[in-house]
Amino acid sequence: MTTPRMDAFWMPFTANRDFKQNPRLLSRAEGMHYWTPEGRQVLDGTAGLWCVNAGHARPRIVEAIARQAATLDFAPPFQMAHPLAFELAERLTELTPPGLNRVFFTNSGSESVETALKIAIAYQRLRGEGQRTRLIGRERGYHGVNFAGTAVGGMGPNRKMFGTHVAGVDHLRHTHDLQRNAFTQGQPEHGAELADDLERLVALHDASTIAAVIVEPMAGSTGVLLPPKGYLQRLRQICDKHGIVLIFDEVITGFGRLGSPFAAQHYDVVPDMITAAKGVTNGTIPMGVVFAKQEIHDAFMQGPPGIELAHGYTYSSHPMACAAALATLDTYAEEELLTRAARMEGKLQSALHTLKGLPNLVDIRNTGLVGALEFAPRPGAAPGRRAFEVFLGAWNKGVLLRAAGDNIAISPPLIINDSQIDQIVSTLAEVIPTVE
Ligand code: PMP
């Protein structure tokens, strides 16, 4: 197969010049595997990009999409609708924590974040608290790349290039603590007190100015950072005390990654809104979701008749995405995939922790079917270089992993079996010692 011309495509979050010298292309996928255009088989250790939870090319989902494309390809979503959108919303609320039973559709995680933040601000206004516009995120949080998500996000490189355009944003400190928590299996013991940062920000700005706090219950993209025991509970208490809307960004943790449908259930903390995307359609058709507590939704339904929320997207509740999502939910249910990570956690944990002691490895983290290895930065080298070389080494040996800063993230499809976990870990055991 000839390599395509590569000049025109400006690739996202990619070192374009390096990549085009040494491209990594995928041309087919099925089950747990990708294949390159040359026919090389690669084990998918990242569920695509944290999204292909049921594995690739599942026939039921493929057929649902094809059937929908031929039946109703598009329907306008404003002042019009199609039946699958209602069916999907109802089905989704069977998976959410009690009370989170209203569903707004978007097309991505980033759009879900913008939507949830706008709803939080509008909700505060509707309940007579219009001065509450401040948004609080967390260092090392990732909430997509649109303006508000970039602002509440806590990744320097993603923010610095663009200046500050969303005013009134502040951040909690992150909870990652190698000193106290390195090599913890499962949830770290230390750091619940970091939730009190929110009290500090309340003291600084006054609660009457704060609309919402958004956190990932488990931060994925910045290296699989688990919440310390008690941290999320404490955040919930402080939000309750001060009338602050608590949003969990579950774009990665939603749909079974931790062994429950959502991290909210896994950690037994119910936020006021949940943002999701990715796994809702098994990564096949772009779709995002915002789940809101009924009381938030109902606050919008009190005014005079008319459009209650001046917000939405052309492709909100797209028929093909709805069909893909319904088939995905059927697949998750039939194969009990949304709880499978809980059953596989012990296997992934014991396999990953055999790597302890390998050179430059400063932490191993895991929960459900997600894990991370953290490497000491190489002095004088670009940040994240060691992790990137481990990623390259694994790719060359037929395993796709993800480099995230100094971390290698492992988040396979939830259908992974024991021997495939062993393949990932033995590949890492071979590659890590070869990276200087
Ligand atoms: N929030 C979180 C927690 C995410 O992990 C991501 C994507 N990895 C996003 C938002 C953005 O999602 P998208 O790339 O679909 O816009």
CB 48 within 8 A of CB 255: no
Q: Ligand 1 in contact with 290 (CB < 6 A)?
A: no
Q: How far is the C-alpha of 348 from the C-alpha of 177, rounded, in Å? A: 22
Q: Give me the number of domains the chain comprises.
A: 2
* Same domain as 201, residue 134: yes
Please identify, by atom number, the ligand 1 atom nearest to the C-alpha of residue 286. Answer: 15
Going by the DSSP 8-state scheme, the letter that residue 44 receives in this structure is E
251 lines ligand 1 (CB under 6 A): yes
Residue 220, ligand 1, Cβ within 6 A: yes
- Residue 11, domain member (yes or no): no
Task: With a cut of 70, list the residues of the chain below it in pLDDT.
Answer: 1-2
Question: Quick one: pLDDT at residue 1?
Answer: 56
Same domain, 69 and 151: yes
Residue where a domain terminates, one of 334, 368, 391: 334
Residues 252 and 266 both lie in one domain: yes
Domain end position, chosen among 334, 355, 388: 334
Would 277 be classed as within a structural domain? yes
Q: Is the same domain home to 343 and 329? A: no
Count other C-beta atoms under 10 Å from residue 359's C-beta.
12
Predicted confidence (pLDDT) per residue in 165-196, tens digit = 888 999 999 999 999 999 999 999 999 999 99
Mark whether 226 and 278 lie in a shared domain: yes
**81 and 28 in one domain?**
no
Q: Sign (positive/negative) of CA torsion 58, 94, 310, 304?
A: positive
Query: H or E element: which one contains 427?
Result: helix 418-431
How many whole angstroms separate alpha carbon 37 and alpha carbon 39?
Answer: 5
Which CATH number belongs to the domain containing residue 215 in this structure? 3.40.640.10
Question: How far, in Å, from the CA of 379 to the mean position of ligand 1?
Answer: 31
146 within ligand 1 shell (Cβ under 6 A): no
Task: Give the three-class secondary structure for 210.
Answer: strand
Alpha-carbon gap, residue 298 to 308, rounded angstroms: 10
Co-location of 224 and 354 in the same domain: no
Domain range enclosing 29 = 16-54+338-434
User: Do 204 and 151 lie in a common domain?
Assistant: yes
Rounded distance, CA 45 to CA 77, Å? 36
Predicted pLDDT of residue 394: 98
Burial class (CB in 10 A: 0-12, 13-18, 19+), 60: middle
Location of structure tokens 């706008």: 118
The pLDDT assigned to 175 comes to: 98
Residues 241 and 107 in one domain: yes
- 288 alpha carbon – ligand 1 mean position (Å): 10
Substitution candidate for ligand 1 out of 247, 252, 253, 274 with most atoms within 8 A of CB: 252
Half-sphere exposure of 430 (CA within 13 A, CB side): 13
Q: Which of 110, 112, 216, 222 to mutate to test the pocket of ligand 1 (most atoms within 8 A of CB)?
A: 110
Helix axes 418-431, 340-353, angle to 10 degrees: 30
Strand order across the beta sheet in which 28-30 lies: 28-30, 33-35, 41-44, 399-400
Does any domain span residue 1?
A: no
Q: 208 and 78 in one domain?
A: yes
Looking at the domain assignment, is residue 263 inside a domain?
Answer: yes
Residue 121 inside a domain? The answer is yes
- Kindly state whether residue 202 falls inside one of the protein's structural domains: yes
Last residue of a domain, one of 310, 334, 358: 334
Output the CA 210–ligand 1 centroid distance in Å: 23
Q: Whole-angstrom distance between the N-terminal and C-terminal Cα of the chain? A: 34
Assigned domain for 5 exists: no
Q: 310 and 389, same structural domain?
A: no
Q: Which residues contact 393 (CB under 8 A, 6 or more apart)?
A: 430, 431, 434, 435
Domain with residue 364: its CATH number is 3.90.1150.10
The alpha carbon of 26 is separated from its chain's Cα centroid by a whole number of angstroms, namely 22
Count CB neighbours of 418 within 10 A: 11
Contacts of 127 by beta carbon, 8 Å cutoff, 6+ apart = 299
pLDDT per position as a tens digit, 253-279? 999 999 999 999 999 999 999 999 999
Q: Are 349 and 424 found together in one domain?
A: yes
